[in-house]
Amino acid sequence: MIRFKNARIMTMCGSTDIINGELWTDAEKIAFVGTPTDEQLKAARFEKEYDAGGCLLMPSFKNAHTHSAMTFLRSYADDLPLQQWLFDKVFPMEDKLTGEHIYWLTKLAVLEYLTAGMTACFDMYFYPDDFARANIECGFRAVMCGSVSGGRENVKRLADCMERFNGKHPLISYRLGFHAEYTADYELLEAVAQLAKDLRAPVSTHNSETASEVADCVKKYGKTPTALFDSLGIYDFGGAGFHCVHMTEEDMDIFVKKGVYAVSCPASNAKLASGIAPICRMAEKGVGLALGTDGAASNNCLDMFREMFLLTALQKLARNDAAACPADTALTAATVGSAHAMGLDDCDVLAVGKQADIIMIDLAQPNMQPLNAIANNLVYSGSKLNVKLTMCAGKTLYENGKFMINADTDEIYAKANEIITSMK
């Protein structure tokens, strides 16, 4: 067992309240949270002890929408209009990607996730075998989201992946999904809905990221993307909508009724000028909220602290109300909400029996002082610099600025540079 003592602990079990005490892990799970009795301490066998020294233990962040391997396009095509960015810059480069590229570029993203206290990502991209291999080698938890597009024949790949990746490795899972309405034939959407019914499985996809996406869909089908998906039964077993910037009241009602999570990506939506998602309105209606970074091509950094700040700050701006979207909303979305949106119900909070997906936050840093409200400090002034330790499934993957994983960081950086240079 591993023991963390002298810790502040924010379990996120229903609130952001903090207790003082200990947390023990046993293999991949949390074995104890609280103040142990002398008998419990006597009976315990610890292979490692951390003195947290008053630092904060909390559930790790989960990145509920990303395209990890897009790291190769970081700062490659900034400050361009959206269409030019996507069609002239992103798509032609993506066409050149191989499975080997995905492997290295995913590892680069995983390094960055760990520095920002993330232990899981909900990833939509290419070459699932290479992606899974990279994550497994790093000890990182990954949920893959189907990314099919085009015609109905492609749905077979989805079914194959569901079979091939679920229940095979404890860190890897796969969820039904398709790229977006605007890259899917109607028959593909029908086939996805049928598969969702057959498997009684949730479906996740890009949804209402831009105003033009919604307008085009309404023009084509007489319905918003959400209403279209709902009419086909795509959301009958829940799922997640990525971005959800341009949502109607009816769209939000569908999300509530069908238990679909809205995964907000505020940095990407700002940088690409897509807009500000109606987070407060969705929260009022009871839509489940999650947070994602999107890929490094559009964001450009993979940092949940930035996403949390933006989630709340942009709501305050959009609503012209400094009281809008309090800190707890952002903190809950980045942890518990994102875990649930990804189907990771066993690593959402700090409680006995849950997966030990934990971060230690350094409070002995100037941006965390004084300790008026630790939850607010995390959201409004927290940064990667405060992540002292990142643990996934009971294994420490990052500690005091060092990566404890089976990977040579210099080799990963060199490969990433080689890959993009070879494509230019």
- Scan residues 238-277 and list those touching a second copy (CB under 8 A): 267, 270-273, 275-276
**β-bridge pairing 61-66 and 19-26:** unpaired
* Shortest distance in whole angstroms from residue 43 CB to a second copy: 35
* Shortest distance in whole angstroms from residue 400 CB to a second copy: 9
Burial class (CB in 10 A: 0-12, 13-18, 19+), 23: buried
Binder of a second copy out of 19, 44, 313, 404 (CB under 8 A): 313
Distance CA 387, CA 385 (A): 6
Q: Which residues contact 22 (CB under 8 A, 6 or more apart)?
A: 3, 4, 5, 6, 7, 32, 33, 34, 35, 36
For a second copy, the closer of residues 128 and 382 by Cβ is 382
Interaction of residue 419 with a second copy, rule CB under 8 A: yes
Binder of a second copy out of 319, 395, 399, 404 (CB under 8 A): 319
Distance CA 74, CA 106 (A): 13
Binder of a second copy out of 8, 306, 340, 354 (CB under 8 A): 306
Q: Point out which span in 23-31, 168-176, 185-193, 310-318 binds a second copy (CB under 8 A).
A: 310-318
Binder of a second copy out of 5, 13, 115, 133 (CB under 8 A): 115
Distance CA 85, CA 379 (A): 30
Binder of a second copy out of 278, 309, 336, 339 (CB under 8 A): 309
Q: Point out which span in 13-21, 217-225, 348-356, 412-420 binds a second copy (CB under 8 A).
A: 412-420
Interaction of residue 111 with a second copy, rule CB under 8 A: yes
For a second copy, the closer of residues 154 and 210 by Cβ is 210
Footprint on residues 363-392 left by a second copy (CB under 8 A): 364-367, 369-374, 376-377, 380-385
Q: Which residues contact 139 (CB under 8 A, 6 or more apart)?
A: 171, 392, 393, 395, 397, 405, 406
* Shortest distance in whole angstroms from residue 179 CB to a second copy: 20
For a second copy, the closer of residues 227 and 363 by Cβ is 363
Q: How many residues bind a second copy (CB under 8 A)?
A: 75
Q: In the chain, what are the helix, strand and coil shares in percent, each to the nearest 5?
A: 45, 20, 35
DSSP 3-state of 228 = helix
* Shortest distance in whole angstroms from residue 40 CB to a second copy: 31
Identify the bridge partners of residue 141 per DSSP, sorted by sequence position.
Answer: 120
Footprint on residues 175-234 left by a second copy (CB under 8 A): none
The residue type of 202 is P
**β-bridge pairing 239-243 and 203-207:** parallel
Interaction of residue 160 with a second copy, rule CB under 8 A: no
Distance CA 173, CA 66 (A): 15
**Extended beta strands in 54-187, E state:** 56-59, 61-66, 118-123, 141-145, 172-178
Nearest to 112 by CA among 338, 296, 310: 296
Interaction of residue 416 with a second copy, rule CB under 8 A: yes
Interaction of residue 401 with a second copy, rule CB under 8 A: yes
Binder of a second copy out of 132, 192, 324, 336 (CB under 8 A): 324
- Show the binding pattern over residues 53-92: x = contacts a second copy (CB under 8 A), - = does not: ------------------xxxxxx-xxxxx--x-------
